Structure 1
Amino acid sequence: GRGAYYKNSYGGCGRGRGSANHGATSTATPSRKRQRFDEGIRHSVRDFRRLMDTVSVLGSNDELVSRLERMNGKPYPAYRDLEGCWKYPNSLLFIDHVQSDSYAPPSKLRLRIDHATAKFPSSLHSTRTRTTALCDYLTRTVSVFSTEASKSNNWHGAKGGDLSIDKPGQQVLERSSVSLDQDAINVLFTYGFPAQGRTILGDKAVQTFRTTMPRLISNLLYATQNQEELKAFVESIEDQECLREKIKESGLVAFVANGAILPRASGASDRPMQGSNLIQFESPKDLECTFTLPNRGEIRGMGVPAGVTLIAGGGFHGKSTMLNALSFGCYNHVPGGKAYGREFVVTSPNCTAVRGDDGRSIKSVDISSFITNLPGGTSTTSFSTANASGSTSMAAGVMEALELGADTLLFDEDTCATNFLIRDRRMQRLIASDPIMPLISKVRAMFRDHACSSILVIGGCGDYCDVANLVLEMRDYSCYNVTEKAKRIADEIPSGVSEFEAKTFGKIPSRQLRHSSIPVSVKTSARGRNTIQLGEESVDLDALVQLAHDSQTRAILNAFKRIHAAGSAVTLSDMLRRLQEIVDSDGMNALTEEGHFDGFLARPRLLEVGMAVNRIVSHQDYSCQNCL
């Protein structure tokens, strides 16, 4: 029964409750601290595996259906007696959590199908990249199936009956919705047990578990897939990942394939624009390069070299569209079929968009590379504020990105603080005591000293022609290399930028973070893509424009909890690297709490996790260490 199920699953600790003393103070050695950190992250994975090994089967699918028939008309809490494992002919169905009533969030279910039953060729999951692609494809398959199955439930006046799985967008991300282990495929989804008010509609639930569930299981077998489409999908993702490695080896920071469709369908959609008047991307001839990929063979397109790149052009000609495409080039994308979308618009996995973020919190950030000599003698080597201005938020954003390992920064003048980007000669003569050294004076030093490139969309300030290695013009959504013209104009109309250009950039300090100071003991939730709620505090992630999916934000919240559980103090970047190693090893389940399963998590980049930590206002425990 349900009590035995939870006793076996959680060792008598109660539903989802652990016994670790996460708030204890530690005087352990660094090696012991690392061990404790790893244990704090890994405990949920051990629990996941232990549950898989020890849980007993409550009965067959026929017995499940019979029990549902007997429940018809009973109060809703009776559904909770179904929690446990049920055996279908081709799989195991786990009912992990039943909602408290029909108005609560839906129940959590899990399917486990042995590889011997599913029969997917090993070639489709022989590498991590291929496994991620296969799992993403299956998530999309289940998403389509669940949408169609839910539409067929025309139950007027009743609640529930809907199957739901994480719905992917255009990006292919590692998710918790479908995962592969050594023995089986695991599929996590939700189901709203049907009711009229708070009275069980057992006959409606019977329809789901007698008819819909076997169809869902069948949809997860290799024999029922469009096998050519699946193979092409997996190979496309592998090609994109290979291309990302090849551009790095070639000294490039970005690549845009000929034929790519950069515009989106609308401002609220990430799907490619459709229509007969679309302008597909074509590389300027002198920037065109060719790569050979393992599956599709030769591909041609524009290579953007490391250094400082300026994207200029008139309004509404495609500058920001190009930058937006590059900002999401850190992710793999779904294949576009005969016409490309953005699947071969590829950038470094560590490219980071930086924008003004007025009002954000800053904690112990060394912004002295950009800002010094503040009124009142306020130090900028370990700068903190609860309400940053546009320029200080951008200075902190650049330094935090560099601390987290960014190797390419993206700037759009429309979303940047003007006084951080530029200060012309007239303003320099008028205001001699400005504490801000603008980006234009540091951007080349940042590349020389720290190998961090910059790509900037600038339409109103020609001074950047003096510092750019490459100048592109977007005109009618077509791209032109106008570097020589820009250099000629810069010589004809001097700006004086070189007089104020910095010879060195400065150090990038690392900061120590005490994990237990992250406030997760309060009620927490992820609200859409841009907000994490920690008690009374709303952590605003609106400036993290490269978050591609709501499920990444949910994963960031779970990462907060795992980081908090570690308890020891290490540098932020080191802590994130360790977190990455553990997720690499154990998958997205490493981010879930003990005994809990969440099928709505998608893997965020470490950059976004770190930037989210940096925006927690109530988190105070940072100390700055001046080390490169």
Structure 2
Amino acid sequence: MRDFSSMWSIDFLVDPLESRHRYHHSNGITNGSTTASFLVTASIPLKDFLGDIHQTSYQEVQQAGGRAARVAIADFCARYFVRQECKELKEIDNNFRSVSLETLDQALLYSKRRQRYQNGSKVCPPYVVERSDFYCQDDNLNLMLRINCCTNHGTPNLQDVEDTCTIPCQQLLSKIFSLDSLIPELLHHIACTVLQQRIRQQLMTMEAVAFLGNGSILPRKSGKSHAPMASPPAVPFQAPKDSRMSQSISIDMGPLAKYLAKSTTPSLQVNNHNMVTLSGLVVPGGITLICGGGYHGKSTTLQAIAMGVYDKIPGDGREWCVSVSSAVTVRAEDGRYVNNCNISAFISNLPTPPGVTKAMDTKHFSSQDASGSTSQAANVVEAMEMGATAMLVDEDISAANFMARDGRMRALVMDESITPLLYRVNGLYQTHKISSVVVVGGVGDWLDVPHNVLLLDKYVAYDATKKAQSISYQFSYGHVQYAGRGVVHRLEWDRSGTPIPRRPLDSFAQQYGSDVSVSILDGGHALSLHRDNDDSDAMQVIDDDEEGCADASRIQQFLSRKQLYASGVCVAWLLQRAPNNPHAGLQSLLQQLDDLLDNGGMNQILQDLREERNGSKHSKAWIHTLETVGYLERPRSFEIGQVLTRLHGIKMEEIPVEDDGEEEAARLEEERKKKALAELWAKRKSKSIE
């Protein structure tokens, strides 16, 4: 066993949760002993931590894997630490009876209300994401943990712990992370993560949306479990034979290739030239339908694509299900807050209520309580605004009237305000190169628009593209003209419907200029931003005044409460930076945030939120994080943007753009089309009356 205890740099901090922690650990302690907890930060150079691993030096791993390898190392160490049973040293000296280490969120499990979660605290979700407690930076592995001290005489202070526990902590960390026997598992973990990143990069060069590897286990053990379902009964995914979607992709993995050789996935092959080949289904760019009967695996397949934006650990079953990082799930959200959003491409000519003289402008749509169709339209447009290149849509959680209108309903309801998504997906792809993957099982009109159709029958995938085209031609729905605007199901995208970059209004953002706290509401399904000097209870805010609250219960690609809380912290950072960037739209602000997270990690955000008058070493945001979730998990920029735009009370303003004359021409053309459409409806109405 390699001893590298002296290589750890140790520092101790006062624990803000010490009183809560002391209560738990004092239970069962007798003989006058007392307990106390502190925070410990530990750091070790990665080259010393890993050593010379299987004739592959740290430099080779670093060069082959880069940033993805560092994230994988930190993730593996966090999982390995949680799995360890013995994290305690006893009889340190005459006063210190024992010291033990635990993760920062462990103390939050001690209240009686959440006691039932303690047994499940060792189960880590299978997603490889950056954390604020285990992370690699500046070629060092950095940890932040909680140390529990049991003493014979009195409560120890910080100086006592520094004097007595530094060397025991080094020894304990060296004992816990004696990875010599686990080096193959660590390297496989790194290689698996790096390979997923490179598949994602290759999908972008192929202008594809996702890759589903053959042999993948898509269904989960249960609706609340991250674990894969046993096979059987789960049916391993297989790409349909003789389909252009069935492809093999090859990735150069360099020196990491050999650590994938023992993979149990039959679709993965490693040759002698560091090339890794995977066979499976490539979801191409364009419009792809996933069809099939009820309970045949449609939504499960789409869910695998949605979660493909995250890297997974080996053994998850979906580690070779990879999607481009800019794929976003859009759905209906009845009741969501919307402000100044251009949904005119989907919603127009809304009726004016009695007594109201001004018609509702859907180019600047705002609502405290959006309907299913208007909320889903806003979700599509905001995904465009944030830079999405693929939209994932499931009819089960979509507004029916936003998805499609059949011929009979068009004949009955002529004055319809909604242009369904069905009519727009081709225009979105042709104009903006935004692909759509849509789960459909009940509306055949969708067969008029796709480039590819995947049919699931008893969990087996078939390529039904040609059959769908034949059915579409037979029923001829796709040949109906839409008032001179083109084929009814393949409308061109109206330029006037393209979202103009928006930013938070300074007057709103400045309300959160300092002393901002984030609270988790509704059991982890919503959050609230509020001033720290506000004495009102956060839970009372949602009853009396919802300003600053965001409902995240239907943001589909969130992973955890920690990620939701981290999104709230990032939103606070965005609101504080927006007034200093008057020409930066939402996408630009999110890109600035992503760059900061890439360079400094989640802890950089917490430090940036430090109050000027706060003389402590850490910000209040950092302390609130410890008190609420323990540590942060990095969210995607899309989920951060979704939380921001759902904040009740937020005011968004459009950033002026130069008019090159095309906008006026587009406006005149739009008016001409509307006039032609109105004349067509008038003729049809007159005929129906006759």
Tell me the TM-score normalised to structure 2 length.
0.71
CA distance in 2, matches of 1:516, 1:190: 40
**How far apart are residue 218 of structure 1 and its match?**
3.3
Alignment correspondent of 1:592:
606
Residue type of the alignment partner of 2:304: A
Corresponding position: 1:373 with 2:349: yes
Alignment correspondent of 1:491:
473
Alignment correspondent of 1:559:
570
Pick one of 67, 70, 83 that aligns with 1:131: 70
Q: Say which SS state the counterpart of residue 261 (structure 1) adopts.
A: coil
Q: Say which SS state the counterpart of residue 366 (structure 2) adopts.
A: strand
Corresponding position: 1:388 with 2:388: no
CA distance in 2, matches of 1:263, 1:207: 50
CA distance in 1, matches of 2:459, 2:8: 51
Alignment correspondent of 1:188:
144
Residue type of the alignment partner of 1:558: V
Alignment correspondent of 1:81:
none
Pick one of 463, 483, 503 that aligns with 2:492: 503
CA distance in 2, matches of 1:208, 1:266: 44
**How far apart are residue 483 of structure 1 and its match?**
1.1
Residue type of the alignment partner of 2:640: V
Alignment correspondent of 1:334:
313
**How far apart are residue 284 of structure 1 and its match?**
0.6
Alignment correspondent of 1:350:
326
Residue type of the alignment partner of 1:588: M
Alignment correspondent of 1:307:
286
CA distance in 2, matches of 1:414, 1:151: 53
Number of matched pairs:
531
Higher relative contact order (CA 8 A, sep 6+): 1
- Give deviations 1:360-391, integer Å, cap 9, x for gaps: 11011100010111122100111111111000
- Give deviations 1:111-170, integer Å, cap 9, x for gaps: 12244642442333341111111111111112222x654899xxxxxxx96612567411
Report matched runs for 1:567-606 at 5 Å. Answer: 567-568=579-580, 569=582, 570-593=584-607, 594=610, 595-596=617-618, 600-606=631-637
CA distance in 2, matches of 1:332, 1:480: 26
CA distance in 2, matches of 1:175, 1:539: 23
Q: Say which SS state the counterpart of residue 260 (structure 1) adopts.
A: coil
Give the unaligned 5+ runs of structure 1: 1-86, 153-159
CA distance in 2, matches of 1:504, 1:471: 23
**How far apart are residue 624 of structure 1 and its match?**
5.4
CA distance in 2, matches of 1:426, 1:208: 77
Does the aligned pair in 1 maintain the 2:342–2:364 contact within 8 Å? yes
**How far apart are residue 300 of structure 1 and its match?**
0.4
- Give deviations 1:85-104, integer Å, cap 9, x for gaps: xx974423322232355326
Does the aligned pair in 1 maintain the 2:340–2:652 contact within 8 Å? no
**How far apart are residue 560 of structure 1 and its match?**
1.9
Instruction: Single out whichever of 281-290 and 517-526 deviates more from structure 2.
Output: 517-526
Compared CA separation, residues 608 and 409, structure 1 to 2 (3 A): same
Tell me the TM-score normalised to structure 1 length.
0.78
Does the aligned pair in 2 maintain the 1:312–1:458 contact within 8 Å? yes
The structure with more radius of gyration:
2
**How far apart are residue 399 of structure 1 and its match?**
0.2
**How far apart are residue 329 of structure 1 and its match?**
0.6
Pick one of 81, 93, 97 that aligns with 2:10: 93
CA distance in 2, matches of 1:130, 1:486: 43
Instruction: Single out whichever of 269-278 and 473-482 deviates more from structure 2.
Output: 269-278
Q: Say which SS state the counterpart of residue 103 (structure 1) adopts.
A: helix
Compared CA separation, residues 327 and 194, structure 1 to 2 (3 A): farther
Does the aligned pair in 2 maintain the 1:353–1:409 contact within 8 Å? yes
Does the aligned pair in 2 maintain the 1:164–1:191 contact within 8 Å? no
CA distance in 1, matches of 2:313, 2:17: 37
CA distance in 2, matches of 1:378, 1:257: 48
**How far apart are residue 549 of structure 1 and its match?**
2.7
Pick one of 439, 443, 467 that aligns with 2:425: 443
Pick one of 194, 210, 213 that aligns with 1:254: 210
Alignment correspondent of 1:533:
528
- Give deviations 1:231-283, integer Å, cap 9, x for gaps: 11111111111111112222321111100000011100122112433211110
Give the unaligned 5+ runs of structure 2: 23-36, 52-57, 91-98, 106-122, 258-269, 271-275, 353-358, 482-487, 531-540, 611-616, 664-690
Alignment correspondent of 2:82:
143
**How far apart are residue 573 of structure 1 and its match?**
0.9
Alignment correspondent of 1:431:
413
Alignment correspondent of 1:8:
none
CA distance in 2, matches of 1:430, 1:588: 54
Residue type of the alignment partner of 1:141: Y
- Give deviations 1:555-583, integer Å, cap 9, x for gaps: 21221222233232331111111111122
Alignment correspondent of 1:4:
none
Does the aligned pair in 1 maintain the 2:87–2:172 contact within 8 Å? no
**How far apart are residue 471 of structure 1 and its match?**
1.0
Does the aligned pair in 1 maintain the 2:500–2:654 contact within 8 Å? no
- Give deviations 1:454-494, integer Å, cap 9, x for gaps: 00001100110000111111111111111111111122223
Residue type of the alignment partner of 2:282: G
Report matched runs for 1:389-408 at 5 Å. Answer: 389-408=371-390
Pick one of 449, 452, 458 that aligns with 1:470: 452
Corresponding position: 1:232 with 2:193: no
Alignment correspondent of 1:118:
49
Residue type of the alignment partner of 1:98: D
Alignment correspondent of 1:67:
none
Compared CA separation, residues 343 and 621, structure 1 to 2 (3 A): same
Pick one of 651, 668, 677 that aligns with 1:620: 651
CA distance in 2, matches of 1:305, 1:188: 43
CA distance in 2, matches of 1:273, 1:117: 39
Alignment correspondent of 1:609:
640
Compared CA separation, residues 467 and 306, structure 1 to 2 (3 A): same
Instruction: Single out whichever of 516-525 and 175-184 deviates more from structure 2.
Output: 516-525
Aligned-pair RMSD on alpha carbons?
A: 3.2
Residue type of the alignment partner of 2:492: K
**How far apart are residue 533 of structure 1 and its match?**
2.0
CA distance in 2, matches of 1:278, 1:116: 42
Compared CA separation, residues 585 and 212, structure 1 to 2 (3 A): closer
Residue type of the alignment partner of 1:547: F
CA distance in 2, matches of 1:523, 1:577: 23
Does the aligned pair in 1 maintain the 2:79–2:124 contact within 8 Å? yes
Residue type of the alignment partner of 2:60: S
- Give deviations 1:30-82, integer Å, cap 9, x for gaps: xxxxxxxxxxxxxxxxxxxxxxxxxxxxxxxxxxxxxxxxxxxxxxxxxxxxx
Instruction: Single out whichever of 564-573 and 169-178 deviates more from structure 2.
Output: 564-573
Compared CA separation, residues 571 and 614, structure 1 to 2 (3 A): same
Does the aligned pair in 1 maintain the 2:504–2:650 contact within 8 Å? no
Q: Say which SS state the counterpart of residue 352 (structure 1) adopts.
A: strand
Compared CA separation, residues 150 and 119, structure 1 to 2 (3 A): closer
Compared CA separation, residues 212 and 455, structure 1 to 2 (3 A): same
Instruction: Single out whichever of 280-289 and 104-113 deviates more from structure 2.
Output: 104-113
Compared CA separation, residues 529 and 122, structure 1 to 2 (3 A): farther
Residue type of the alignment partner of 2:553: D
Residue type of the alignment partner of 2:527: I
Q: Say which SS state the counterpart of residue 76 (structure 2) adopts.
A: helix
CA distance in 2, matches of 1:266, 1:360: 29
CA distance in 1, matches of 2:479, 2:604: 50
Q: Say which SS state the counterpart of residue 271 (structure 1) adopts.
A: coil
Report matched runs for 1:25-44 at 5 Å. Answer: none
Compared CA separation, residues 525 and 88, structure 1 to 2 (3 A): farther
